[in-house]
Amino acid sequence: MTTPKAKVARERGAKEKSMRRSVIVSFLVFGLVAFGLARASHGQGLFDSGRLTEAERKSKLSELEALSTAVEGFGLLQIMIIFRGFKQGDCGQLETIEGPAKEGDAKNQWILADLYRQGLCVKKDDKEAANWLIRSAKQGYKSAQFDLGTYYFNGWGLRENHRQAAHWFLKAAEQGDRKSQNFVAKMYEKGDGILQNYIQAIRWYEKAADQGHWQSALSVALMYTSGLGSHPNPAKGFEWIIKAANAGYKPGQVVTAGAYLDGSGVEPNLVQAHKWANLASSSDIAEVKKLAVDFRSKAEKKMKPNEIVEAQELARNWKPSERKRKKEFSISKTLQLARVSEKFSDGLSPEQAKTKLTALGVPVTKDLFFLAVKKDNLGVFKLFHKAGASLETKKLGLTPLFWAVDFGSYKVYRYLMDNQADINAVDQESGQNPLVRAIAHSRWDIVQELLDAGADASQQFGISGELGLSSMSALSISLWGKDNPQLVTQLLNRGASVKERYMHERTPLHSAVSNRLIKSVAILLSAGADVNAKDNTGVTPLHESLDGEKRRVDLELVKLLMANGADPTPTTTGIMSPLLTASIQGLSDVVKLLIDHGAKPNERYRFSRGEIPYIVTDPKLRAVMMNGGTPLMVAAVSGHLSVAKTLSQKGADPTIEIQIGGVSHTASKLARDSGYDYLATAIATGNW
């Protein structure tokens, strides 16, 4: 018979297994293309042995492998040995390789082996190739040792022998060959050709990852996350994932995006999730690109407009670490050395401009063209343009005008405007135009010039190109910063609409009120904004004005809304009324204002448990709200004397009773039970 204690232990164990399984599945979905769990072209044993961990986890791998079929062949280590630099037409040089090889030169023995494998200048012969590899490998030549391991693993020219494969991979790994280190780690992890040892697997994965083998970084991350060789440690796993991402490894970037999205090993961060998904979306691997776009879309649905703009800017300014960073530095140095006068290209033909660039040692590439924009190097930019570069060419989906706006490159921006660059160009990913970007970056002089030049202020752009609940506009973006009534007026005069809807069906008025932009609120109202518009949860601008969690409640703002017809008694299931909200927060002036405009002092509330806002934590207050309490009862439980006094003077009935736990309660009793004796007496007697 199962004891209660055993039952609890079993349930806890099942829960831990379920959670671990969820983490593993989650990571596979995020980075399946990189973890190498699908079948590789050189054989199945190494990658799908059927064991992700001990017997208790056997079922997990089969589920993960079912997912792997969608991306088989991508992101996997391909065992191919290619001798670079020797072609069929170079066969006259064969003796320069064959002679030293026969005399015992290990490098030439390795090269000769590859010629036999490929059939270049000699008859293709895997056995002969294997013989030359053995001779080279025994002399300690690590490239030959790695290749010999692959021959044994695949049975090329030798009897298939995974134990021998592991032996030679280990030899090369000990000499620092990162591909071999990855293979050794895989074989230790799966127990393929070597005794299974998770500790050794982690050790070799980390050695390979330390040398920039980023597939190994993701593999060891999966081990840490799933608890292979240690207790589950998602945080440690994430350390390796972010290293791969920072190095520019696209599968690592999409895994990072997923981790930030769901909080796997790191605190959830939608801005970072969006940034990394955006970077990964340029991957050549279809499945990585698909996942990246999906993660970015999921993040955007939860983000504010300014957060999306921030994430896009982070992605644009991101620079990879290590080798790629050095490349970026060398490009910057090239531009710095090319001290080209801004008038240098005047009067030059395209061919002359190309000749000048060549003479300066500046290659005509898209990277340099856009780097000239980023650095505001007008001289180089003009030369590129003269040499034929289009002002509408795109990098990361953006034209030079977008880049000039984003980076504040005013010289290049001026040149683009003078040369009729398209001011209404649209970023196909985000749907934004240069005007929106200028507003997001608070480049008010550029905003003014774009508006004067006829920029489209009416365009709504949708996240990932989809209009609807997630759409935004120049007007909505302008209402997320400081109060700028002049800009709001200009946008409205240039076609922006006060009736537009964007994320969560919110209106510009919702945003302006939420951010306490009272001057902009007045302009929107005078332009015909619906003061009682509801978002998709039923929240009105008046509700927003009383949300003390976001911003300090501004009485003048509430007065402005009420003066323009705000309904003090909007009815929406699960949403606290304005009067209830004001009573909870102790806002006696607002309570008086609402009642003077028609709010009912004896309105009753009966919320379900799930409908009560999370900010209401007091159990007594929650009980009142769930059992038909009045504003006076809410004030009594909260100890708000001035609110209770105002309610009483405005007609609140102190004799109303509610049942809590089978016991009758009046506002006076609730105040006394909450420790507010003076308030209880005042409510009961009316003596304030």
| Amino acid 63: pLDDT | 33
- What CA–CA distance (Å, rounded) separates 39 from 68? 8
**Which residue, of 175, 191, 206, is where some domain finishes?**
175
| Amino acid 43: pLDDT | 28
Contact between 144 and 106 under an 8 Å Cβ cutoff? The reply is: yes
- What CA–CA distance (Å, rounded) separates 174 from 412? 53
**Which residue, of 513, 534, 567, is where some domain finishes?**
567
Contact between 594 and 555 under an 8 Å Cβ cutoff? The reply is: no
Residue 389 lies in a domain: yes
Q: At what angle do helices 588-596 and 641-649 cross, to 10 degrees?
A: 20
- Split into its structural domains, the chain has a count of 5
61 and 90 both lie in a single domain: no
| Alpha carbon distance, N-terminus to C-terminus of the chain | 66
| The two structure tokens encoding residue 595 | 């009642």
| Amino acid 593: pLDDT | 96
Is residue 311 predicted with pLDDT exceeding 50?
yes
Residue 322 lies in a domain: no
59 and 114 both lie in a single domain: no
- Please give the model's pTM, rounded to 2 decimal places: 0.54
560 and 583 both lie in a single domain: no
- What CA–CA distance (Å, rounded) separates 321 from 494? 44
Residue 310 lies in a domain: no
- What CA–CA distance (Å, rounded) separates 392 from 398? 9
CATH number for the domain including 352? 1.25.40.20
More confident residue, 262 or 65: 262
629 and 652 both lie in a single domain: yes
CA-based radius of gyration for the chain: 34
511 and 583 both lie in a single domain: no
Helix H or strand E encompassing 471: strand 471-473
Residue 681 lies in a domain: yes
- What CA–CA distance (Å, rounded) separates 624 from 610? 14
Give the mean model confidence (pLDDT) for residues 543-552: 79
DSSP state of 460: E
DSSP state of 69: G
- What CA–CA distance (Å, rounded) separates 146 from 435? 56
Is the alpha carbon torsion for 464, 470, 471, 472 positive or negative? negative
Torsions phi, psi of 397, nearest 5? 80, 5
53 and 83 both lie in a single domain: no
Give the mean model confidence (pLDDT) for residues 378-393: 88
Helix H or strand E encompassing 174: helix 162-174
Is residue 58 predicted with pLDDT exceeding 50?
no
More confident residue, 342 or 467: 342
Helix H or strand E encompassing 665: strand 663-665
Could you give the angle at the alpha carbon of 497 between the alpha carbons of 494 and 502, nearest 5°? 125
611 and 674 both lie in a single domain: yes
Is residue 22 predicted with pLDDT exceeding 70?
no
More confident residue, 403 or 44: 403
354 and 415 both lie in a single domain: yes
**CA neighbor of 533 nearest in space, from 506, 493, 560:** 506
Contact between 270 and 307 under an 8 Å Cβ cutoff? The reply is: yes
Q: How many Cα neighbours within 13 Å face the side chain of 288? A: 26
**Which residue, of 31, 46, 71, is where some domain finishes?**
71
Q: How many Cα neighbours within 13 Å face the side chain of 217? A: 24
Instruction: Pick left, alpha or beta for residue 566 (phi over 0 → left; psi -120 to 50 → alpha; otherwise beta).
Output: beta
Q: How distant, in Å, are the alpha carbons of 426, 446, 648, 675 from that of 412? A: 19, 12, 67, 68
522 and 420 both lie in a single domain: no
Residue 357 lies in a domain: yes
Give the mean model confidence (pLDDT) for residues 27-34: 39
Instruction: Pick left, alpha or beta for residue 454 (phi over 0 → left; psi -120 to 50 → alpha; otherwise beta).
Output: left
Residues of the chain with pLDDT > 70, as a percent, come to 78
545 and 591 both lie in a single domain: no
Note down the domain range covering 64.
4-71
pLDDT band (50, 70, 90) for residue 407: confident
Contact between 311 and 304 under an 8 Å Cβ cutoff? The reply is: no
How many helices, marked H, and strands, marked E, lie in the chain?
A: 36, 4
546 and 586 both lie in a single domain: no
More confident residue, 684 or 605: 684
Is residue 146 predicted with pLDDT exceeding 50?
yes
Q: Residue type at 521?
A: V
Residue 583 lies in a domain: yes
Is residue 78 predicted with pLDDT exceeding 80?
no
Residue 139 lies in a domain: yes
598 and 504 both lie in a single domain: no
Give the mean model confidence (pLDDT) for residues 219-235: 82
Q: What is the mean pLDDT of the chain?
A: 80
Helix H or strand E encompassing 658: strand 658-660
| Amino acid 104: pLDDT | 93
The single residue listed with the structure tokens 């994320």 is 503
Residue 687 lies in a domain: yes
Q: How distant, in Å, are the alpha carbons of 504, 541, 613 from that of 550? A: 17, 13, 14
CATH number for the domain including 111? 1.25.40.10
**CA neighbor of 318 nearest in space, from 289, 279, 291, 288:** 279
**CA neighbor of 680 nearest in space, from 297, 499, 688:** 688
